[in-house]
Amino acid sequence: MLEQRGKTRADLHELMGGKARVSEFFAGKRRLSVEQIRALRKALGIPADLLIA
């Protein structure tokens, strides 16, 4: 979805609380918090149900 919206992982640093959190999420070591889900939904238009695992 990032590619479709012309975004990169670096664009998520501010939304998700830093580079380490983004890396941990993509590595499967961290789940998204409710706040992060809300921020991603608002900023990227990703439905919340797709972000909840």
Cβ partners under 8 Å of residue 9, min gap 6: 2, 22, 23, 26
Is the pLDDT at 51 greater than 80? The verdict is yes
Residue 48: alpha-carbon gap to chain centroid: 11
Is the pLDDT at 2 greater than 80? The verdict is yes
- The DSSP code sequence of the chain is -TGGGT--GGGGHHHHTSHHHHHHHHTTS-PPPHHHHHHHHHHH---HHHH--
State residue 1's pLDDT score: 84
State residue 24's pLDDT score: 97
pTM, two decimals, is 0.83
pLDDT digits over 16-44, tens only?
Answer: 999 999 999 999 999 999 999 999 999 99
